[in-house]
Structure 1
Amino acid sequence: MLGPMSTLDNFVAGLSFPLDGFQREACEVLESGRGVLVCAPTGAGKTIVGEFAVYLALAQGTKCFYTTPIKALSNQKYHDLVDVHGAEAVGLLTGDNAINSSAPIVVMTTEVLRNMIYANSPALQGLSHVVMDEVHFLADRFRGAVWEEVILGLDPSVRVVSLSATVSNAEEFGDWIATVRGDTEVIVSEHRPVPLHQYMLVGGRLFELFDRKSPPHGRRQVNPELTRYIKQRALLDHDDRDSGRGHRGRGDRRHRRSTTMPRPRLIQLLEEDALLPAIFFIFSRKGCEDAFVQCVRSDLNLLEPEQVSQVDEVVERHLTDLSPGDAEVLGVEQWWAGLRRGFAAHHAGMLPMFRQAVEELFVRGLTKVVFATETLALGINMPARSVVLERLIKYNGEAHVDLTPGEYTQLTGRAGRRGIDVEGNAVVLWTPEVLPDRVAGLAGARTFPLRSSFRPEYNMVLNLIHRLGVEGSRHLLRRSFAQFQTDRTLVGQARQLDHARRRLRKTDAELIAAADKAGLDPGIGLDDAGDERPGTDPYAGFLGYLTLREDIRRAEREERFTRRIENENAVAEDLAALKRGHVIAVSSRRHRGLAVVLLPAEQHLDPRPLVLLEDGYTTRVGADDFLNPPQVLGNLRIPRDADTKSGRGRRRVAELLASSGITRPVGRQSKRRRQTGGDSEVARLRNRLRSHPIHKQPGLDKLFRLGEQRNRLVRDVASLERSIDERKSRLEEDFDIVVAVLRELGYLESDGRGGLQVTPTGDVLRRIYAETDLLVAECIRAGIWHRLSPVELAAVVSSMVYQSRRDTYGGGIDSMPGSKTVREALAETLAVWQATNEVQARHSGGSESLVTAEPDTGFCAPISAWAAGRSLDEALTAASAGGNLLSPGDFVRWNRQVIDLLEQIRNSVGADDPLAGTARRAVKSLRRGVVAAELE
């Protein structure tokens, strides 16, 4: 007779597929009452473990919170769980939405849970499980600290289910979670249920990236056929250029190949190879839109007639709340036309309703190609058969940087639909800058370490001190993953330091004994503790002699470096001074012989004049083509009608150069050495070396070996000591700086018992979670926003959250459109910002890590228009009038953030404060039209 089924058995019975080994193991850990960290590739199905945590909490009559890093993923997960458990059992909290928040299962962004912990929310009662999806986000330098705050702040009885992409230090991360939360199992799976195949597309040909003969494990070799084909293309292009230059009109255009291909043609190639549906990752919104428009203007059509009506049904449902006027402004007609042909764009600049329509169509197989930014890779359920990467460089908000192996893995992880595709496909488009070896390095890398980004900030410190006191806060900092990683590094470094010191003491003893045997002063004195007593003369004794030799080598290196820099500067100066017709001698690996200058250098930083060599070849020469500064050997008069761009013209000038009678210097050229004066440091040190009593003494080989070994150990000890001193107290130093700023500004005060307590003003700051939290609190305290109307408050508060993608108002606040009251409030806000930053800079020693960003007025005009009841078209026009191009999606997104901060302000000042009423009315004025539709 069979026994009763376990909770896990019941859960599995409701699934349409069996669990993989790692999924079952993780679920068994949860059922046993322990926490779990699951690290698995994108698409491996680790979210099933989170869903079991939900099922387990419902079965036990407790609560489960399911957290995600982004609102779009929270919305998606909410709908997934509602489909399984019903709307009554599931709630949603994202800052924008609050649906059924008292439900036993609530999906939320991680920031919402962090705020609930700080507020000691009653909703935390009865909580048994928290799922932290995409927990590797704690490495994010802007928002990562939130994940650590939650893990550290949850009640010890709560079981944490951490779901992460594959990271190389999973055991280290798991050890930390187990240290701060108790019994936690680490389960790692590197198996992809759908294997990923790597390709490069060169021209119109698709090549496998890796050699099939390479072993499946270890370093895989690049496909030699791919390498050969790229080299052949390079040779063809080179011959093509030579043919076109030397024989005008005879260039073989059949060999001319562009490194880029029109996207419609590229998509057709993918379709022919059965590689659709595909996601094209393009790292800019404009690039996504340009690709979409390029396809719209082509005859590309990827859908069958019967599929078009299904597309129309989905689109009409998503656009129910959109007014006809807004639809025209948003370009719905063209967007819809692309969807009816099977392709779309997807990025943060689009309205969420548009993105959600694209996501649904893609999942249903009604969209075959999506041009997307990397935000699509953050857990949103849109797997494809193939992923296409057009570039391996992206803009990170500050600079264009190379993709990391982790980012490459995250993006290509979208390829391969479980239960549909036999394999996924990652396709990288070849350009001369994208080398196969580099792609292979990204695709084959397995080292993605998770690094903490945790650091104390104003709101965090106030909330910690309010809950835990100063010493409790310090204790929590010491328990952070950041400190855990530092301590682990310090433990290893301390072990190395101890070993180096022991070896140093042993070497000292051997050196002293050997020096005594040779009748020499070892040059080292040790006190009773075995530590070195430094002498007054650094060159005394045998060790002083060794130090003298090392100082000579150092000084010689510095002199050589100085001579090289001076020579390079002299070469650059003379190259920049060359004029048309000057004849010089070139003697390098690439070129040798006479050369005449055709075009002077265009710039002086790295001057490279265009010259013609004796054989009629033209090239630009730079500093690396000369051992010594170029000498003008003569001047050649170049006829004005000489066409040096043609082969005939170059041959004519070469003949003139050959018949000019100018000759190059005879003999092999060598670099001229500058004479070193007798009073140089090297000369002085050499004189001292020759007069040293040990200089000519023979038989000191053992002493030399021991002395050099000792010096290496001394350097190692000093380096380790510096590293340990720099690392061990960084978090607490930052904490002390933040506390000092908060005390000076009156947010913290003495509690009369030797500790600190949060002041009433500090209570306001505790409830402000924006990056500009301190500035917002200072403006509230100064009362400069209290006299504003709801529209004016929305405008001024927008400067606290908005970040321009480029300069907005060249003339500053005074030239900004809007009322005089708004401009005055912004000017006062700016004054508060400057005063606050002065306090921060004084305590932090000028460090920029605590400096608050300057208020940005770029959104004031459009949000003023919107809050005043103007149309979407008028609001977007107000943005462009200020030189600030704003997409509809960005407009809605910034409105959301302003609404969120206004709600924080309303909750922080108290219901009786007039500012709370103004903030409430400002929110109401913003929540309409497309903004209201996206908040429902």
Structure 2
Amino acid sequence: MNLPQSPTNLNLETLFPFELDDFQKDAIAALDAGQSVVVCAPTGSGKTLIGEYAIHRALAQGQRVFYTTPLKALSNQKLRDFQQKFGEELVGLITGDILINVKAPVVVMTTEIFRNMLYETPIGQVGTSVRDIGAVILDECHYLSDRQRGTVWEESIIYCPTQIQLVALSATIGNPQELTDWISSVRASAQQEETEENDCTLINSDFRPVPLRFYFSTVKGLVPLLNGKQTQINPKLKAKHPHKRRRRRMEDCPSIPLVISQLQERDMLPAIYLIFSRRGCDRAVDILSEKTLVNPNEARRIQQRIDEFIQQHPEASKNGQFEPLTRGIASHHAGLLPDWKSLVEELFEAGLVKVVFATATLAAGINMPARTTVLSALSKRSDDGHRLLTPSEFLQISGRAGRRGMDTIGHVVTVQTPFEGAKEAAYLATATPEPLRSWFTPSYGMVLNLLQKHTIKEAKDLLERSFAEYLAQRKLAPEQQAIASLTTDIAKLNIELAPINPKQFTDYEKLSERLKEERRLVKVLQQQAEATQKVEIAKTLTDIAPGQIFYLKGKQIPVQEPLPALLFEKAPGKGQSPYLICLGANNRWYVSASNNVVGIADISFPESALSSLVPPTGLTLKQGQTRKGDAASVPIAQQIRDRVQPLTPAPEVLEYQERVERLTAKLENHPLHQWGNSKNLLKRYKKRLALREQLKQSQSKYQRHQLNRSYYWQDFLNLIEILREFGALDEFVPTPLGEATAAIRSENELWLSLILLSGELETLAPHQLAATLCAAITETPRQDSWSNFAPSQESLEVLDKLQNTRRRLNQVQHQHNVALPVWLERRLMGVVEQWALGEAFSVDWNQLCDETSLDDGDIVRMLRRTVDVLLQLPQIPGISEILQINARLAATQMRRFPV
């Protein structure tokens, strides 16, 4: 693609003083042409550069840019990156609980924040929240396929005003064109027209600046996983007995220290070592207690950074992972403090940490490139049980390998385990990524936000723009084409057959079927009669002399009607039955067995008549042999034809033959013949019947699909019924309760609004309010979870009063087939209540962690979610002033390290 002159007069060589890849050039050209883009390329290929260009372009045009990410941690990382590139004053951040320079030209935010902004404006219009926005970059857009969060991406794309350029950055997926076409269709339908401005261009690339090589680790060593062409499993790794499945012993699988040693020997560090459990990551660090992967200088630099970290966060001084970190070893998972994980990421990027044991969450966009990624297993636990990784998951994890500008090759190591081997690893390494799918799910907030600014019909139209609906329509397209084609074919036949009464076809077909059946019966009766006759004839054949006339028919005498033939002589045959050498009325000689004789005539020729006959010399004495007669046999054959009458059928055969003749005559005189060739007409009539049945089935299938594709709408209507029952909607108009529910962001907005407007929380102190709200938004923890902090009696009494509302909401949701969570979890309330007392009255962080079974990271996540809800309260209409004041106080008291 030739790059046009940039309308913003941006100098690409100045912006990017290095050679751009072709897909980057194509994406930049599309952006300069005013188009939205979907950039689908491998992890580490340089997609972010396209987002950066979109920022440069918007800034040069005096417009603002939103850069959205799926995770707060990724948003924080992008904030740091963009502040370095564009300057701190030009970049802001919004992540719910953190607001930094929100009026800046470039604002990084989570995708959910962007969706929430769009809720504030009539869909498709430019409101105050998105005014002057030139472009929105949707990083990690493949999250659209995430079961829990994918709806946010779909809503963001559907609701985004068409004046805003979309830049969707995605890892490799199986259906990038479908995603691109859907975005184009959504933006076109928003303006009710197809225009080039709404076009979305796909920039699809499989280019990796640092190519990957795959290895398989065994106790014997590190072996290439694939063949030389990287298309199939390495022949050396093929199982000797592929059909014999057995679980391998642990001693036959390489240990973590052995794998690390293999990487050291080949200079394949630093590495990210994926282990799909937090405990597994921490155990791996402990297992390497004798291992040092850094030199003394690197160890000093790490220690210096640790000292700075402790000085900034003295509460984290008890962290037992400081010592392994000084040896270049660390873990990284959701159970650790966010600040600690940031420290690990920083040291890893600096090349000081040589191996990080991480869970799969690390694959979600955090910038931690490594020379090598190691997968400790190829399967993991999921909501659906233990399963093999999907090709997309494997690709996402593998893509971490290979640092651009530092490595020429990225290494991906899979490890032999008791359950998985080279076969599974080679499959994942060569498989193509699966297509994105939609998990679009309506919620109370979605219903109310749409109905605040749209009619019910407009809301339905918006729902029908979802990616799921689009994919359903794509599946229906062949069915629609088939229906159109069948309808056309039937119409042509209708015109052709219009003059003919359909009764003539059915009558003609019945006669044809009857005639066919009568002929079949005649044939059966003939065969039965001939079989009976053959038995009788066989008894008399020994007495038959040459000159006798009989009738031949059978496998060796393939004639339609029994053939009169003159017996010339008998010859010894197989067994006791002689061969019969005969001259037929057709002047052909036959060598026949007795089982071909189906009748004996009352006529015979004298032996003197046979004197002129001589069988052909080529006639060998073998059953079924036949030869043409000569001039001498012609007169005899003629006499046979003249003197011998055809063999009379048995009486029962004769009766059915007469029936056949009557039906044949009736069929030949049928009125259908007046319209042309009756057989061809009947054939077309049957074709029309078959096409009509096919059309009926296709229409039925299409209607079923149409019903299935509207289940989102049914969910939407179910939510409306529940909202009406609780007084959040008056017909389709949100009530004050509905307006409050629409302003809330949680997994069950109605449940939270019912609590907040119940009047029960006004008596609670700030720390008790925080604990109660945490109970309403915290999912049920593991059975072995515990806390030594008991919640206050006041908080527990409020929970008791809310139980009836909870029970009723659960019942109504169940009646309407809605499965949104209605939590009221008591076990961990005390932890939140203790922390929300504030620094002056609460225990310190280490004491808090010591008194509960939760991991540090889980506690932080629970506290941050609670703070997020507390910060929402002052923005929710109808919330009492006392609740607003207490919510602000509680949030202020909770927002200290590490929260």
TM range (shorter): 0.7 to 0.9
For the residue of structure 2 that corresponds to 1:837, the secondary structure is helix
Residue matched to 1:446: 432
Q: 1:258 to 1:82 in 2, by over 3 A?
A: same
2: CA distance between counterparts of 1:229 and 1:270?
Answer: 27
List 4+ stretches of structure 1 deviating above 6 A: 3-6, 229-235, 500-515, 520-523, 705-712
User: Could you list the per-position Cα deviations for residues 475-518 of structure 1 after superposition, in whole angstroms to 9, with x for gaps in the alignment?
Assistant: 21122222222222222333345556788999999999886445
Q: 2:130 aligns with which of 120, 124, 129?
A: 124
Superposition deviation, residue 5 in structure 1: 8.0
Aligned counterpart, 2:263 = 270
Q: 2:303 aligns with which of 312, 315, 319?
A: 312
Structure 2 partner of 1:778? 754
**Are the counterparts in 2 of residues 865 and 874 from structure 1 also a CA contact under 8 Å?**
no
How far the C-alpha of 1:860 sits from its partner, in A, is 0.7
Whole-angstrom CA distance in 2 between matches of 1:293 and 1:9: 52
The equivalent of 2:869 in structure 1 is 901
Residue identity (%): 36
The offset of 1:710, in angstroms, is: 8.5
List alignment gaps of at least 5 residues for structure 1.
239-255, 524-541, 543-696, 751-755, 880-884, 932-936
TM-score scaled by length of structure 1:
0.70
**Alignment CA distance shift 1:197-1:824 (3 Å):** same
Q: Give me the whole-angstrom Cα distance separating, in 2, the residues matched to 1:504 and 1:273.
A: 70
For the 8 Å contact 1:194–1:416, the answer to whether it is kept is yes
**Cα distance between partner residues in 2 of 1:66 and 1:788:** 39
Change (3 A) 1:721 1:506: farther
1:321 to 297, 303, 312: 312
Shift of 1:388: 0.7
Is the alpha carbon distance of 1:11 and 1:725 closer, same or farther for their aligned partners in structure 2, counting shifts above 3 Å? closer
SS where residue 190 of structure 1 aligns? coil
Instruction: Call closer, same or farther: CA 1:718–1:479 in 2, change over 3 Å.
Output: closer
Aligned positions of 1:247-286 closer than 5 A: 258-286=251-279
Shift of 1:257: 7.5
The letter of the residue matching 2:430 is G
The answer to whether the 8 A contact 1:203-1:257 is kept is: no
> What residue is the counterpart of 2:827 in the other structure?
858
Match for residue 602 of structure 2?
none
Q: What SS does the corresponding residue of 2:898 show, helix, strand or coil?
A: helix
Change (3 A) 1:101 1:910: farther
Once the two structures are superposed, residues 846-893 of structure 1 have per-residue CA deviations (whole angstroms, 9 ceiling, x without a partner) of x244x33432233212112212312223323443xxxxx201111111
CA distance in 2, matches of 1:308, 1:447: 40
One-letter amino acid of the structure 1 residue matched with residue 757 of structure 2: R
- What is the aligned partner in structure 2 of residue 224 from structure 1? 235
5 Å matches for 1:749-768?
749-750=730-731, 756-768=732-744
Per-residue CA deviation, residues 120-161 of structure 1 (Å, 9 max, x unaligned), is: 473422111111001111111111111121112222211111
Question: Structure 2 matches for 1:775-814, cutoff 5 A?
Answer: 775-807=751-783
Q: Distance in 1 between matches of 2:707 and 2:387?
A: 28
Shift of residue 8, structure 1, vs aligned partner: 6.7
Deviation at 1:195, TM superposition (A): 1.0
Which residue of structure 2 lines up, in the alignment, with residue 601 of structure 1?
Answer: none
Please give the residue correspondences for 1:638-787 in structure 2 after superposition, counting only pairs within 5 Å: 713=694, 717=698, 720-721=701-702, 723-750=704-731, 756-787=732-763
The correspondence of residues 529-548 of structure 1 with structure 2, limited to 5 A, is none
Q: Radius of gyration: which is bigger?
A: 2
Please say if residues 66 and 105 of structure 1, whose CA atoms lie closer than 8 Å, have aligned partners that are also in contact: yes
How far, CA to CA, are the matches of 2:413 and 2:115 in structure 1? 39
Q: What corresponds to 2:50 in structure 1?
A: 49
Report how far residue 732 of structure 1 moved.
Answer: 1.7
Q: 1:210 is paired with a residue of what secondary structure?
A: coil
Q: What is the rounded CA distance, in whole Å, between the counterparts of 1:717 and 1:106 in structure 2?
A: 50
Measure, in 2, the Cα distance between the counterparts of 1:341 and 1:230.
43
CA distance in 1, matches of 2:244, 2:237: 11
TM-superposed CA distance for 1:99, in Å, is 0.8
Q: Give yes or no for the alignment of 1:211 onto 2:244.
A: no
Alignment partner for residue 433 of structure 1, among 415, 419, 439? Answer: 419
Following the alignment from structure 1 to structure 2, what is the Cα–Cα distance between the partners of residues 316 and 81?
Answer: 27
From the superposition, tell whether residues 291 and 520 of structure 1 become closer, same or farther in structure 2 (CA, over 3 Å).
Answer: farther
CA distance in 2, matches of 1:432, 1:421: 32
Equivalent residue of 1:782, what SS?
coil
Pick from 329, 346, 357 the counterpart of residue 360 of structure 1: 346
Alpha-carbon spacing, 1:270–1:808, altered in 2? closer, same or farther (3 Å): closer
Question: CA contact under 8 A between 2:218 and 2:254: conserved in structure 1?
Answer: no
Aligned mate of 1:168, from 174, 196, 201: 174
**Distance of 2:258 and 2:503 partners within structure 1:** 79
Q: For 1:531-561, what per-residue CA distance to the aligned partner results, in whole angstroms no more than 9, with x for missing partners?
A: xxxxxxxxxxx9xxxxxxxxxxxxxxxxxxx
Give the distance between the partners of 2:97 and 2:799, measured in 1 at CA.
26
TM-score (norm 2): 0.73
Answer yes or no: is 1:300 the counterpart of 2:291: yes
Structure 1 residue aligned with 2:584? none
Task: Name the SS of the counterpart of 1:456 in structure 2.
Answer: coil
Q: Which residue of 2 aligns with 1:177?
A: 183
Q: Which letter maps to 1:391?
A: A
Q: Answer yes or no: is 1:153 the counterpart of 2:159.
A: yes
Q: Over aligned residues, Cα RMSD in angstroms?
A: 3.5
Question: Does the 8 Å contact 1:132/1:163 carry over to 2?
Answer: yes
Q: Which amino acid aligns with 1:155?
A: P
Change (3 A) 1:197 1:522: farther
- Give the match for residue 595 of structure 2: none
Q: Within 1, Cα distance between the matches of 2:171 and 2:374?
A: 20
The question of whether the paired residues in 1 share the 8 Å contact of 2:272 and 2:373 is answered with yes
Decide whether the 8 Å contact of 1:8 with 1:28 is kept in 2. Answer: no
Secondary structure of the 1:421 match is coil
* DSSP 3-state at the match of 1:929: coil
State the shift of 1:229 in Å.
7.5
**1:113, CA displacement in angstroms?**
1.1
Distance 1:131 1:412 in 2: 24
Equivalent residue, structure 1, for 2:799: 826
Q: Distance in 1 between matches of 2:818 and 2:85?
A: 48
3-state secondary structure, aligned to 2:288: helix
Cα distance in structure 2, aligned partners of 1:395 and 1:804: 19
In the alignment, which residue of structure 2 is the partner of 1:96?
97
Q: Distance in 1 between matches of 2:504 and 2:277?
A: 69
Cα contact 2:873–2:879 (8 A) shared by 1: no
How far 1:809 sits from its partner (Å)? 7.6
Asked if structure 2 preserves the Cα contact closer than 8 Å seen for 1:93 and 1:101, the reply is: yes
Partner of 2:843: 870
- Asked if the contact 1:516/1:522 (under 8 Å) is kept, the reply is no
SS for the counterpart of 2:876 is helix
CA contact (8 A) 1:507 1:710 kept: no
Name the CA shift for 1:457/1:467 in 2 (closer, same or farther; >3 Å).
same
Question: 2:401 and 2:5 mapped to 1: Cα distance?
Answer: 40
Cα deviations by residue, 1:19-67 (Å, 9 ceiling, x for unpaired): 1111011112112222111111111111100001111111111100110
What is the aligned partner in structure 1 of residue 280 from structure 2? 287
- The one-letter amino acid paired with 2:238 is T
Letter in structure 2 aligned against 1:748? L
Checking the alignment, whether the CA contact within 8 Å between 2:339 and 2:898 is kept in structure 1 is no
Change (3 A) 1:434 1:480: same
The answer on whether the counterparts of 1:284 and 1:373 sit within 8 Å (CA) in structure 2 is: yes
Contact conserved, 2:63 with 2:105, CA < 8 A, in 1?
yes
The question of whether the paired residues in 2 share the 8 Å contact of 1:311 and 1:339 is answered with: yes
What is residue 422 of structure 1 aligned with on the other side? 408
